[in-house]
Amino acid sequence: MTRVLDLGTPGGLRVAVKECLAIAGLPIRAGSAAFENAPPALTHADVVQSVLKAGCHVIGQANMHELAFGMTGANAHTGTPENPLWPDRIPGGSSSGCAALVASGAVDFAIGTDTGGSVRQPACCCGTYGLKPTYGRISRAGALPVASSIDCIGPLAASAPMLTRAMAAMDPGFAPVPCPGTPRIARVTGFDASPEVSAAFETAAARLSPARTVTLPGLEAAFAAGMTIMNAEMAAELGALALSDASLGADVRGRILKARTTTAAQIAEAEAIRTAFTAETDAALEGVDALLLPTLPQVPPTWQEAQDPMNVLPLTRFVRPFNLSGHPALTLPIRTAAGLPAGLQLVGARGSDALLCALAEWIALRLTEKETA
């Protein structure tokens, strides 16, 4: 944690809040020296107020990749969280601290943000559960960046039932639902993942008896389009800061400056892809409760491997597309044959967040039963 706090109800669920969400009386630092001396927030972010009202105990702020604009979790200013189970590997970004705190058992759940996989990717890297809710489901009031058409606030937890409890605390309109008997799951095929991740996914998927298979031909285009939209929106909000403030980390400053070159034509093309991929995902979900595909295309790289950007950039290929489309997406932890972290990603219809949480609980029990049988 970057700051220890004592807000809310002692004895309630212990919660950590990502540094890009407002805590009254503190600056929204977002892991950056550029905001170290920013004016303190006057009010809590809406989601923080919700968990306090629900009887939770906010015990600290969670570290993050600077300005939520990176995938490794490295942060030279506030420190880099250690991946508790695989310390030689990245904890993932940008909600790195959230995932690490949950995986270490320091908190019951953490509140992260997910613009291009930033809850699901670190959750997968650290072996926890994570949910990107339907776009707009949870209020972003009090979040940095202020404006985004793809960013969502979501929970990370060490178990599927706790993820459900976290959503109930974070979203006053969330009501848990029972799993509908044997759920109807469609297994996505045609993705390009590493052999070890593919093998772990196929083993887990086979235990769930998917109802059918589907393809998402637009997945790769949606990944690229999601990056275009993220770049355009980050440049619009933080481009002037990158030009004027040399205290920004070199990696983040370079990315924002490069993002400023995004053209109107590229944005228009990305929006067209957004429309097409949203319709494609909706069609794939017809007649089923959720889609199933890997969370990451490869195991998280070691810190040494992560020095090469080509080992990091592809990590969000399967998660970022659903930021673009707005569908809720949830990651469950599995492991490869070598014991390394991998994930099952569930994608549901927009608005089906409660059902997705129920499915995650059913799958977690199903996989445990199969392993102990």
How many domains is the chain built from?
1
Of these residues, 18, 95, 132, 148, which one is catalytic? Answer: 18
Q: Is 258 helix (H, G, I), strand (E, B) or coil?
A: helix
* Neighbouring residues of 287: CB distance < 8 A, sequence distance ≥ 6: 184
pLDDT digits (tens, 9 = 90+) for 136-157: 999 999 999 999 999 999 999 9
Please tell me the predicted confidence (pLDDT) of residue 371.
60
**Of 180, 177, 179, 280, nearest to 222 (Cα)?**
280
Calculate ∠ Cα 151-157-160, nearest 5°. 105
Out of 32, 50, 94, 159, pick the active-site residue: 94
Predicted local distance difference test score (pLDDT) of residue 143? 98
Contacts of 304 (CB under 8 A, 6+ apart): none
Consecutive H or E run containing 335: strand 329-335
Chain length of the chain:
373
Closest C-alpha among 58, 45, 43 to residue 9: 58
Q: 245-267 burial by CB neighbour count: b if 16+ within 10 A, else e?
A: eeebbebbbebbeebbebeeebb
Please confirm, yes or no, whether 18 is among the known catalytic residues.
Answer: yes
**Separation of alpha carbons 263 and 14, rounded Å:** 44
Find where tokens 């995650």 sit. 360
**What band does 370 get if pLDDT is binned at 50, 70 and 90?**
low
145: containing domain:
3-372
Token pair 């490794």 is at which residue?
72
CA 348 to CA 354: how far, in whole Å?
Answer: 10
- Which whole number is the average pLDDT over 312-326? 97
Nearest CA to 343 among 373, 369, 317? 317
Q: What is the average per-residue pLDDT within 96-107?
A: 98
Give the range among 13-17, 35-39, 114-118, 340-344 with minimum mean pLDDT.
Answer: 35-39
Strand order in the sheet with 129-132: 3-8, 57-62, 14-18, 109-114, 152-157, 129-132, 329-335, 341-347, 290-294, 185-189, 212-215
Indicate the pTM of the whole model: 0.97
Q: What is the CATH number of the domain that holds 312?
A: 3.90.1300.10
177, amino acid identity: V
Instruction: Report strand pairing: 290-294 vs 212-215.
Output: unpaired
Kindly report the backbone phi and psi dihedral angles of residue 74, in degrees, each rounded to the nearest multiple of 5, phi listed first: -65, 135
Q: Which position among 32, 118, 148, 352 bears the catalytic label? A: 118
At 333, give phi and psi (nearest 5°): -80, 135
- In this predicted structure, the answer to whether residue 279 has a pLDDT above a threshold of 60 is yes
pLDDT of residue 369: 77
Q: Are strands 341-347 and 290-294 parallel, antiparallel or unpaired?
A: antiparallel
Helix runs in 319-352, H state only: 321-325
Has residue 72 got a pLDDT over 60? Answer: yes
Cα gap 124→307, rounded to integer Å: 20
Structure-token pair, residue 26? 């503190």
- What integer best gives the mean pLDDT of the chain? 96
Report the run of H or E that residue 269 belongs to, with start and end.
Answer: helix 264-285
